[in-house]
A = this chain, B = another copy of it.
Amino acid sequence: MATERITKRAYLNEARQLRRELIELQLQLKQAPFKVLLILAGPEGSGRGELLHTLAEWLDPRGVDTFSFHPPTEEERAHPAPWRFWRDLPAMGRIGLYTGSWYTETLREEARNKRARRHLLEEAERIRRFEKLLGDGGTLIIKVWLHLSRKAQGRRLRTLWADPSTAWRVTEEDWQHHLIYDRLAETARLIRQRTSRHGAPWTTIEAGDERARDLAVARLLVRRFREQQRKATRLSPPKPPTDPKPLRPSGLRRLRALRLDQEMSEHDYTALREKWLGRLSASVRGVLAAGKSVVLVFEGWDAAGKGGAIRRLTSAIDPRDYRVVSVAKPTDEEKHAHYLWRFWREVPRDGRVTVFDRSWYGRVLVERVEGFCRADEWRRAYGEINDFERQLTEHGTVVIKYWLHVSHEVQLSRFQERESTPHKQHKLNDEDWRNRRKRPAYEAAVGDMLALTDTPHAPWQLVPADDKRFARIEVLRTATRLLEAALE
């Protein structure tokens, strides 16, 4: 690629025009329902820092967040790897400028041998999936590779080095990386190739001439933003679903085959509860002491007894070690973020437990059935959720998922009991009755959830819950078994 030279006058002229467009773009972004990530990568001396300063001057800084990269902290290492990246996303309607990103660590590696190369390709695949998830969620991802030849890099480093007033900008690491320029360039080429996809392509920009570089990046930002706007207006709003047909009938069959007539006497319950609470407590402490974390997901019909089961289960855990997250309707901030974002925030650090009273499965249950999201969105969610849970278990988190199943009849009698008990009335609202009327549609959704997200790393536990005592023991027993298995 030849270095484009540009005169100062031409630069100032075009910069003036681009600045006006960038400001206009930011104003529109505040109204538009998406966020923008601009990832700047390139070798030392390609001017990521200077570019950041130019963009900070050209953009309205009140709508910009800058993110960069440090080796992960102890807190970040105590969470699954993507946690830190989810934490460092700009809010909706804002632009995030990344001088470091999920690429930084990968780009420092060298593909010296087969094993290192395989590791790099795995990393690239993880990044690809993460960006696809964000892109599908409406985020605009712009990735710039600032190209600087080996020769130009050497020239730039030497110039800075020679001048006492700028010598401080050149670190020892810069020189080291200059020596292995070719190997790092090969890694970068491989990573770019594997992570360039429709929607999040890499754009290479020649960094030899500073003015041309700045203008090219600003032009790219304007162009990609306009494309994204056109795409966003083409998306149709979600339609109320008319067809409750399951995608995979096997899940529904599994649900219907569950024996709901299993009961337990008060006497047996008391004895078994103490037994399992004791074993559960020991296994939780063991798992946490081993530095693992635990995620418990409680899903089930309204009035299936999730709250009671959670209270019994958590009574076996040190209150300092667990946290119950009751998932209500999303707040404004959450509504504007990716649906997985608010759950990533609550992922436990090593040595802790998070209990989710309802969860990310809302996407494929209430949001699917009530038409709160588009069909392509909930259809995509099964795979996204499997990926999410795999990221947890790969980190060493034990993921336990319950579906508490009650019959239509038992649910009715519990609703009636709530209605007639003053201090329980708040537990019952119009939505519960609405959901009850739509049982067939919900059953189809539950069946698909069981069929499509029952993975080896995070299998579903189906709990017959017409009898509360039986259900509670079942919850304690399966949790204990799974935790004991995780300890082996």
Q: Is A267 in the interface zone, CB < 8 Å from B?
A: no
The number of residues on chain A lying at the interface, defined by a beta carbon within 8 Å of a beta carbon of chain B, is: 59
Q: Which of A289-345 contact B (CB under 8 A)?
A: 307, 311, 314-315, 318-320, 323-324, 326, 328, 331-333
A270 — nearest CB in chain B belongs to which residue? B165
Q: Which residues of B contact A66 (CB under 8 A)?
A: 319, 323-324
What mask results when residues 274 to 294 of chain A are scored 1 for a CB within 8 Å of chain B, else 0? 110110011000000000000
Q: Which residues of B contact A168 (CB under 8 A)?
A: 278, 281-282
Q: In the assembled complex, how far is the CB of residue A1 from the closest CB belonging to chain B, in whole angstroms? A: 25
Tell whether, in the assembled complex, residue B274 and residue A166 are in contact, meaning their CB atoms are under 8 Å apart: yes
In the complex, A23 Cα to B200 Cα: how many Å? Answer: 49
What mask results when residues 256 to 283 of chain A are scored 1 for a CB within 8 Å of chain B, else 0? 0000000000000000001101100110
In the complex, A304 Cα to B360 Cα: how many Å? Answer: 48
In the complex, A99 Cα to B323 Cα: how many Å? Answer: 12
With contact pairs A52-B319, A320-B99, A357-B61 given, residues A423 and B19 touching in the complex (Cβ less than 8 Å): yes
A424 — nearest CB in chain B belongs to which residue? B19
Q: Is A198 in the interface zone, CB < 8 Å from B?
A: no
Q: Which residues of B contact A426 (CB under 8 A)?
A: 23, 27, 60
Tell whether, in the assembled complex, residue B319 and residue A49 are in contact, meaning their CB atoms are under 8 Å apart: yes
What mask results when residues 49 to 69 of chain A are scored 1 for a CB within 8 Å of chain B, else 0? 110110011101110101011
Q: Which of B20, B74, B282 contacts A423 (CB 8 A)?
A: B20
A68 — nearest CB in chain B belongs to which residue? B320
With contact pairs A49-B315, A66-B319, A75-B75 given, residues A61 and B165 touching in the complex (Cβ less than 8 Å): no
In the complex, A372 Cα to B473 Cα: how many Å? Answer: 56
Q: Is A164 in the interface zone, CB < 8 Å from B?
A: yes
Q: Is A223 in the interface zone, CB < 8 Å from B?
A: no
In the complex, A212 Cα to B396 Cα: how many Å? Answer: 43
A59 — nearest CB in chain B belongs to which residue? B426
Q: Is A73 in the interface zone, CB < 8 Å from B?
A: yes
In the complex, A60 Cα to B427 Cα: how many Å? Answer: 8
In the complex, A230 Cα to B16 Cα: how many Å? Answer: 57
Q: Is A48 in the interface zone, CB < 8 Å from B?
A: yes
Q: Which residues of B contact A281 (CB under 8 A)?
A: 168-169
Q: Which of A93-115 contact B (CB under 8 A)?
A: 99-100
Q: Which residues of B contact A423 (CB under 8 A)?
A: 16, 19-20, 23, 58
In the complex, A20 Cα to B426 Cα: how many Å? Answer: 9
Q: In the assembled complex, how far is the CB of residue A316 from the closest CB belonging to chain B, in whole angstroms? A: 8
Q: Which of B275, B320, B425 contacts A69 (CB 8 A)?
A: B320
Tell whether, in the assembled complex, residue A61 and residue B324 are in contact, meaning their CB atoms are under 8 Å apart: yes
| Chain A interfacial positions (CB closer than 8 Å to B) | 16, 19-20, 23, 27, 48-50, 52-53, 56-58, 60-62, 64, 66, 68-70, 73-75, 78, 99-100, 164-166, 168-169, 274-275, 277-278, 281-282, 307, 311, 314-315, 318-320, 323-324, 326, 328, 331-333, 349, 357, 422-423, 425-427
Q: 30 interchain pairs (CB within 8 A)? A: A16-B423, A20-B422, A20-B423, A23-B425, A23-B426, A48-B319, A49-B315, A49-B318, A49-B319, A52-B319, A53-B311, A56-B324, A57-B307, A57-B311, A58-B423, A61-B307, A61-B324, A61-B357, A62-B326, A66-B319, A68-B320, A69-B320, A73-B74, A73-B349, A74-B75, A100-B320, A165-B275, A165-B277, A165-B278, A166-B274
